[in-house]
Structure 1
Amino acid sequence: MAIVTELDLPVFDYSAPDLVGEVYHRRLAEAAAQGWLAQGPLSYVVLDRESGEFFLRSRATAFPGRQIAELFGVTGGRLREQIDANILNQSGEHHRRLRALVGPAFTPRAADRWRPAMREFLAGLWDGAATSCEFVAAVARPYPALAIAAVLGAPPGDAPRLHEWSHWVQRQFDVRALATELPRIERAVAEVYDYVEALLAARRDDPGDDLVSALLAAEEEGDRLTRGECVDLVLNVLAGGVDTTQAQLAHALRLFAGHPGQWALLAADPALAGRAVQEVLRYEPITPFTARVCVEEVEHRGVVFPAGSIVAVCAERGNRETEAGEVFDVTAGRDARLLTFGAGAHYCLGANLARAELEEALAFLAPRMPDLALDGDPEFGGVEGIYGLGSLPLRWSAPRDRSPVAALPHPS
């Protein structure tokens, strides 16, 4: 039995500034070729699916939100309050209770209710005449913010603010951002707390057909969410449901621009959208590393991890650990299990909503953007938190049927 601190492990620096695009994938593959475990800057990096699922599902591990916060001096204020209340940082009976109460609001059927609204938002964003755009600004950024506004029962005009808050609140999981932009993250958390409090007060007096009203009414065996729990859960949904979908949709279009045959298949048969989304989630997960801390001593594959050890489960390597896993192919039959949304008790609550948004977007866009191609170099973000794109210039041909909804406008 070996103690992990005594092992001579390969080094994988997930904070390296050039770790984007194909360089990122190549370095991960090189590290994984040396074994299932590597040494990162703040954690050990788990590089295969079996071990990734073990750490994500183990009752001896937990999300290390509090530990990471303390490393960067976040010991009080609204950000610390949010970290302590975040459902990711809950465990045991309290966590099971929250999941049981809110689960019905996040089923596939619940997500499907919002598909007509998603299509309306896409049609509105599409209303233009150009055959090129900067896709992040034109579609990937506004679309999920509009969808989350509708789901929460917030005014559509609030969508830009919701996007901004989501972007900054999510960066509490990005160690580089915590080191350099902590005041901006703290300000966003304070602002969004005030916003959610007001939204809940409005929905309490005038309930509607939305998630906030559903959470306020959520009940199981006589138990109900408290006011504070409702606030924190809505904040979790808002923070986790915009920046993530934006990033995944942008990467989807980038991937398809590089695989024109795959895009043509989807354009010819939009019913492939579900499989296309599954393949995008598998091939380029925008949550490349999911952290866990060992709350007690853990033994796995002959290695002992002392209590307090932090591991980063690599979804990118775990997802590609399948036949022809390095090939992007929407028609391939693959194991449906992915690490993109996590695993075990903390599997992402919003996974069904995210899938619905992505499926609607790909089914809508593919027939309208023939000959999709890059129109310049994408601007990649870092992989420590949400792996997104700052910009994605695209071009395409006018649809053959000369439909009046021919293209996306350039953003002003």
Structure 2
Amino acid sequence: MTEAADLDLPVFDYSAPDLVGEVYHRRLAETAAKGWLAQGPFSYVVLDREAGEFFLRSRAMAFPGREIAELFAVPDGRLREHIDANIINQNGERHRRLRALIGPAFTPRAANRARPAMRAFLDELWKPGATSCDFVPEIARPYPALTIAAVLGAPKQDVPRLHEWAHWVQRQFDIRALSEDLPLVEKAAAEMHEYVADLLAVRRAAPEDDLLSTLLAAEDEGDRLTLEECVHLVLNVMGGGIDTTQAQLSHALNLFAGHPDQWALLAAEPGLVGRAVDEVLRFEPITPFTARICVEPVEHRGVRFPAGAIVAVCAERANREEGEEFDITAEREHRPLTFGAGVHYCLGANLARAELEEALTFLAPRMPGLAVDGPVRFGGVEGIYGIESLPLTWSPSPLGS
């Protein structure tokens, strides 16, 4: 058995400032060609699917949120409380309890109930007669924020604040933001906590048909969520359900703009939308690296990782083992690792899929001849890999008028 620290591993710097777009994909492919494991700035990097699945599913692994907070000296306060309470940082019985209580609120059926609202928001954001836009600020950014507000039962006028808070709170997973913008992340966490607590107090007094009321009423064999647990779960939904969908939808349109035959096919055959969403998730995952920490020594493929070692599972390389071509008609053997795997598989995956399906179904027939109309500005890959600006152009369409 070889100790991981004794291996002569290739180096992959996932914090490099130029690691975006095709440079990012090329560098990952070159590193993966040297083996399944690399050395990153703070962790080992796992570069194939089988090993990635192993580490994501192993009960000897946990999400290192608290360790990251220690590493970047996150002080006591609302952000530290949120990190401690985040469901991804829970394990064992506490994690099973929370999933059992809130699971019914995140089923495919629950997500489907929100589809009419999604369609209404897309119709509201669409500008009839337009043939160009910067897709990120005009559609990708407001759409998931409007959807999450509707699902939660938050007032529509609060959507800009929710988006701003979610943007910063989600940066708790971004090592660059924790290094450079920690006060902004802390401020957003404190303001968001106060807002959600007030909103839950209103719903406790006057329940409605929304997620807030569902969480307050959640019960499993006599067990109930505490008010503080409800607050943190709502923070999880807001923080994890806005920037992520915004990023994935932006990458979807960028991909389709680069593959016009696929876009035309989707417009002609909207029944392909489920497979199209799967292909977008596979080909350009917005969670390129998912961290796990060894809570005890772990052995895999003749390598021993000590307790405390952190690994970053690379969804991009794992997903692309099934092909380097973007093809919405292809039948893939495995589910993408974009939403993770194992007990911490993304709780909001069904809602995110529904949002992406509705958006692509709406947009494909209204944006024929889709093309990129200027420089695309990418975000970094350390946390959520997003797009900050995506100028698009398209031809007039009867549906778009």
Q: Please, what TM-score do these two structures have when normalized by structure 2?
A: 0.99
Q: CA–CA distance in 1 between the matches of 2:211 and 2:226?
A: 15
Aligned residues: 401
What is residue 384 of structure 1 aligned with on the other side? 382
Matches within 5 A, 1:11-410: 11-322=11-322, 325-399=323-397, 402-403=398-399, 405-406=400-401
State whether residues 115 and 358 of structure 2, in contact with CA within 8 Å, keep that contact through their aligned partners in structure 1: yes
Secondary structure of residue in 2 paired with 1:38? strand
Secondary structure of residue in 2 paired with 1:56? helix
Task: State the 1:240 CA deviation.
Answer: 0.2
Q: CA–CA distance in 1 between the matches of 2:178 and 2:375?
A: 28
Q: Which amino acid aligns with 1:351?
A: A
Task: State the 1:16 CA deviation.
Answer: 0.6
Task: State the 1:321 CA deviation.
Answer: 1.1
Q: CA–CA distance in 2 between the matches of 1:88 and 1:5?
A: 27
More deviation in 265-274 or 343-352? 265-274
Q: Which amino acid aligns with 1:164?
A: E
Q: CA–CA distance in 1 between the matches of 2:192 and 2:318?
A: 34
Task: State the 1:297 CA deviation.
Answer: 0.5
Deviations for 1:85-127, whole angstroms, at most 9, x for unmatched residues?
0001000000000000000000001100000000000000003
Q: Which amino acid aligns with 1:346?
A: H
Task: State the 1:270 CA deviation.
Answer: 1.4
Secondary structure of residue in 1 paired with 2:137? helix
Deviations for 1:122-154, whole angstroms, at most 9, x for unmatched residues?
000003322000000110000000000000001
Secondary structure of residue in 2 paired with 1:19? coil
Task: State the 1:336 CA deviation.
Answer: 3.8
Q: Which amino acid aligns with 2:126?
A: W
Q: CA–CA distance in 2 between the matches of 1:174 and 1:11?
A: 20
Q: CA–CA distance in 2 between the matches of 1:270 and 1:149?
A: 27
Q: Which amino acid aligns with 1:203?
A: R
CA-atom RMSD, angstroms?
A: 0.7
What is residue 410 of structure 1 aligned with on the other side? none
Task: State the 1:313 CA deviation.
Answer: 0.3
Q: CA–CA distance in 2 between the matches of 1:386 and 1:57?
A: 21
Secondary structure of residue in 1 paired with 2:160? helix
Deviations for 1:319-368, whole angstroms, at most 9, x for unmatched residues?
1112xx10000000102421100000100000000000000000000000
Secondary structure of residue in 1 paired with 2:375? coil
Task: State the 1:261 CA deviation.
Answer: 0.0
Q: CA–CA distance in 1 between the matches of 2:212 and 2:128?
A: 33
Secondary structure of residue in 2 paired with 1:312? strand
Secondary structure of residue in 2 paired with 1:340? helix
Q: Which amino acid aligns with 2:70?
A: E
Deviations for 1:210-247, whole angstroms, at most 9, x for unmatched residues?
11100001111111111111111011001000000000
Q: CA–CA distance in 2 between the matches of 1:112 and 1:25?
A: 34
Q: Which amino acid aligns with 1:332?
A: A
Q: CA–CA distance in 2 between the matches of 1:180 and 1:202?
A: 36
Q: CA–CA distance in 1 between the matches of 2:310 and 2:186?
A: 24
Deviations for 1:293-330, whole angstroms, at most 9, x for unmatched residues?
001100000000000000000000001112xx100000
What is residue 409 of structure 1 aligned with on the other side? none
Percent of aligned pairs with the same amino acid: 76
Q: CA–CA distance in 2 between the matches of 1:128 and 1:266?
A: 21
Q: CA–CA distance in 1 between the matches of 2:280 and 2:95?
A: 30
Q: CA–CA distance in 1 between the matches of 2:159 and 2:355?
A: 15
Could you list the runs of 5+ residues in structure 1 that have no partner in the other structure?
407-412
Q: Please, what TM-score do these two structures have when normalized by structure 1?
A: 0.97
Secondary structure of residue in 2 paired with 1:329? coil
Q: CA–CA distance in 2 between the matches of 1:97 and 1:64?
A: 20
Task: State the 1:75 CA deviation.
Answer: 3.6
Q: CA–CA distance in 1 between the matches of 2:257 and 2:335?
A: 26
